[in-house]
């Protein structure tokens, strides 16, 4: 199987921004080290800020050092740095010359009509401007355009951007990215379910009591106050990452692991989801958020969301999916927990009813962040003469099982985009449906609940899941 992409020119709009620094440049460096970049390639960074080629080299080296764990050097770095350049000019429909000239010059250097990959690592309001500018500059031929999330901020803005992008680009040129879909463990859900006879028979409402998708974050807003004010946790995390994870967990088996069948099955999940109601939603804001630069003193933007959603189809009817995410929480975690129903037997007295509250349901946990892997927790007999049950676990981790860590999501998705593979990207009809699901809550949001920094969010989120409880990292 050929894993080397065709010769490509990569243009990163927002090239000296936070996303490029933390994710894109380190991911491209790792692909370079693994021999998974094209045989011939160039990277052009762009922003309206003054930035020289030399400054971009330094920026890239510092980013790789910080986020890859070691300073790049030697021939590998010389080759990488030699292929970096920068254009300091705002790219708009009326101001395309600098970027267009740099693209054409780089293509001549590469040897002609190579593939073009444009990555929009910019705030969502810039998406339409850059899309129109690509059209005005006549750069859409042989192009793939990667849009970061969120793609729109509500139904209306999604439709406007979708119509514009499809007027300028063909559907197969549009890559709407959600990096959670590039996580190895989430992809492994499909293998675990459909390649093993032990899981699929119990992956349904008859055996599963509830599902939790939990993404608390210790980090705050940082310097993104003005951006976050326009989005908030519901738009930034739930409509994008958490719904996409839910789609993979709840989907029916696709007839093949290809883009269309996989995206079709996720769409069926979204279409089966009941609209989110205010009564099933908790919005919170951490103490001190309104003091962050760029945040209004009377801000009503949520930094925390917990929600209860239902997939109303044959497999999942009546099973609640609990979603939680927030900033400045007690710990960072990205996990999915499927809690199985309690057995009906009275063979072990004291395990049913109130006395069982101190023991967790037997459950399967998928770790999507940090040390990716899976853990099955169940009740087992504690060693000794008495028949005493206690929780036990079996763990699968990529590093211990395969001798290496899982490939990072941005490496995977950037490589897929270079290869022209849209399987792990999102699709317009699915995105539109997710905006429909949250439309009522966006129009009439529940009142904000304050919560202390370094906590687990508002107490109302515990009431939302009661009598169940959130599975915390230490468990």
- Active-site residues: which are they? 241
3-state secondary structure of 367: strand
Helix axes 428-437, 243-250, angle to 10 degrees: 110
- Residues contacting 34, CB < 8 A, separation 6+: none
Q: Where are the beta strands (DSSP E) in 219-327?
A: 281-286, 304-310, 320-326
Query: Which tokens hold the place of 380?
Result: 């087992």
Contact between 45 and 12 (Cβ < 8 Å)? yes
Cβ contacts of 110-113, under 8 Å, gap ≥ 24: 110/7, 110/9, 110/40, 110/41, 110/42, 111/7, 111/40, 113/142
Over the range 213-236, which residues count as b (16 or more CB within 10 Å of their CB) and which as e?
A: bbbbbeebbeebbebbbebbbbbb
Distance (Å, whole) CA 79 – CA 323: 44
Query: Which tokens hold the place of 250?
Result: 């709840």
Per-residue DSSP letter, 299: -
β partners of residue 337 = 212, 365
The burial class, CB within 10 Å (0-12 / 13-18 / 19+), for 462 is: middle
Contact between 9 and 106 (Cβ < 8 Å)? yes
Contact between 366 and 471 (Cβ < 8 Å)? no
Look at the block and give the residue holding tokens 């000296």. Answer: 16
């Amino acid at each position: 199987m050929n894993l080397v992409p065709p010769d490509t020119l990569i243009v990163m709009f927002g090239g000296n921004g936070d996303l490029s620094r933390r994710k894109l440049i380190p991911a491209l460096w790792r692909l370079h080290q693994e021999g998974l970049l094209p045989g011939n390639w160039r990277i052009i960074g762009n922003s309206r800020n003054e930035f020289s080629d030399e400054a971009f080299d330094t920026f890239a080296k510092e980013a790789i050092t910080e986020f890859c764990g070691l300073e790049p050097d030697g021939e590998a770095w010389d080759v990488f740095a030699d292929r970096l350049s920068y254009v300091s000019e705002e790219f708009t429909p009326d101001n395309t010359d600098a970027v267009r000239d740099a693209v054409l010059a780089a293509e001549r250097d590469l040897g002609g009509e190579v593939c073009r990959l444009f990555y929009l690592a910019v705030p969502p309001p810039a998406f339409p401007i850059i899309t129109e500018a690509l059209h005005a500059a006549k750069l859409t031929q042989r192009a793939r355009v990667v849009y970061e999330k969120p793609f729109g901020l509500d139904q209306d803005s999604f439709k406007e951007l979708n119509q514009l992008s499809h007027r300028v680009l063909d559907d197969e040129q549009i890559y709407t990215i959600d990096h959670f879909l590039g996580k190895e463990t989430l992809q492994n859900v499909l293998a675990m379910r459909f390649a093993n006879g032990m899981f699929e028979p119990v992956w349904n409402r008859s055996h599963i009591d509830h599902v939790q998708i939990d993404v608390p974050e210790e980090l705050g807003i940082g310097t993104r106050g003005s951006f976050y004010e326009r989005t908030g946790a519901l738009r930034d995390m739930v409509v994008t990452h958490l719904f996409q994870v839910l789609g993979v967990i709840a989907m029916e088996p696709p007839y093949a692991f290809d883009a269309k069948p996989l995206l079709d099955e996720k769409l069926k999940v979204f279409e089966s989801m009941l609209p989110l109601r205010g009564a099933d939603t908790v919005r919170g804001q951490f103490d001190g958020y309104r003091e962050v630069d760029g945040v209004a003193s009377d801000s009503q933007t949520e930094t925390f969301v917990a929600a209860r959603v239902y997939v109303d189809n044959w497999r999942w009817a009546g099973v609640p999916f609990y979603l939680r995410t927030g900033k400045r929480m007690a710990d960072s975690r990205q996990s999915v927990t499927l809690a199985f129903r309690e057995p009906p037997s009275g063979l072990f007295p004291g395990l049913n009813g109130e006395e069982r509250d101190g023991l967790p349901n037997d459950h399967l946990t998928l770790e999507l962040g940090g040390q990716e892997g899976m853990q099955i927790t169940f009740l087992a007999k504690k060693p000794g003469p008495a028949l005493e049950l206690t929780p036990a676990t079996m763990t699968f981790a990529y590093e211990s099982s395969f001798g290496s860590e899982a490939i990072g999501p941005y490496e995977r998705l950037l490589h897929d985009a270079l290869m022209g593979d849209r399987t792990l990207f999102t699709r317009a009809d699915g995105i539109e449906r997710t905006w429909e699901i949250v439309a009522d809550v966006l129009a009439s949001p529940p009142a904000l609940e304050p919560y202390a920094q370094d906590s687990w969010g508002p107490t109302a989120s515990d009431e939302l899941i009661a009598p169940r409880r959130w599975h915390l990292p230490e468990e």
